[in-house]
Amino acid sequence: MKTFLSLILPLLLGSVAFAQDSQPIVGREAAARYFQKRDPAQQGYVGGSTSDHFLALHFGRYMSSQSYDWSKNGSQDDVGGNSFGVTYRVGEWQNSMDLNLRIDYAEFDLPGENPSKLSFMPLVTFPDASSRFPLYFGAGLGLGIFLKQTSDKSALSLDYQLVLGARFFDVFENTGFFLEAGLKNHLHLLSSGQLNGTFLAGGLVFTF
């Protein structure tokens, strides 16, 4: 009898413990499980997650441009030159849009003078880069600082852009490329003068 109990008692105690551990969780505790933050890698994201860093380097050129009351000769055509820049994603509205910081250097060709400008611009683009959708749209508004400016004209400008682009991620490991076109304009803040232009740019996209 003692031998029988010594064999069966551990099995019974183990069954009771298993039954207690396997009790279903109900009520508020069970509901809370559905509102916990989940790992994006477990939610079916492909090619990265919303935590990816996004950085783009570009080279571009004004395709057409018109300046007004900027030079001594009044209005001028085709004054926009080359541009170089970097765009970095600083925030995201998940499954919606990205907030980027764009730093852009641009050169201009006015009669007898060659101004240059550095602009700092918050740029909103959609859809978000985490979606990996190839086409995107965007708009930005920021401050331009002239490194070299014509005489008697403002060293500060209000810069704004409207963009349409196509981007291709991870063409080679974490590196891809993009093409972008749109409007790139500015207004002088402390004097008369403005520029309206269209541009075309391309460059590399990095996710890390």
- Cα–Cα nearest to 148, from 113, 121, 98, 175: 113
**pTM value?**
0.74
Cα angle 172, 139, 44 (rounded to 5 degrees) comes to 45
Contacts of residue 195, Cβ cutoff 8 Å, sequence gap at least 6: 65, 66, 67, 68, 70, 79, 80, 108, 185, 186
pLDDT in tens, 158-176: 999 999 999 999 999 999 9
In percent, how much of the chain has pLDDT > 90?
A: 66
The share of the chain scoring above pLDDT 70, in percent, equals 75
Q: How far does CA 169 lie from the centroid of its chain?
A: 13
CA 69 to chain centre: 34
Give the number of other Cβ atoms within 10 Å of residue 94's Cβ: 9
Closest CA to 159 of 141, 183, 137, 138: 141
Between residues 158 and 113, which one has the greater pLDDT?
158
User: Could you give all domains of the chain from N- to C-terminal order, each with its CATH number?
Assistant: 54-207 (2.40.160.20)
Confidence at residue 70, expressed as pLDDT on a 0 to 100 scale: 94
Q: What b-and-e string marks burial along 130-146, b requiring 16 or more CB atoms within 10 Å of the CB? A: bbbeeebebbbebebeb
Residue 32 has pLDDT above 70, yes or no: no
Q: Indicate the pLDDT class of residue 8, thresholds 50, 70 and 90.
A: very low
Q: What is residue 52's predicted lDDT score, i.e. its pLDDT?
A: 77
Average pLDDT, the chain: 82
Integer Cα distance of 175 and 181 in angstroms: 21
Element (H, E) at 152: none
Closest CA to 150 of 183, 190, 121: 190
Q: Where are the beta strands (DSSP E) in 21-134?
A: 54-71, 74-77, 80-93, 97-108, 116-126
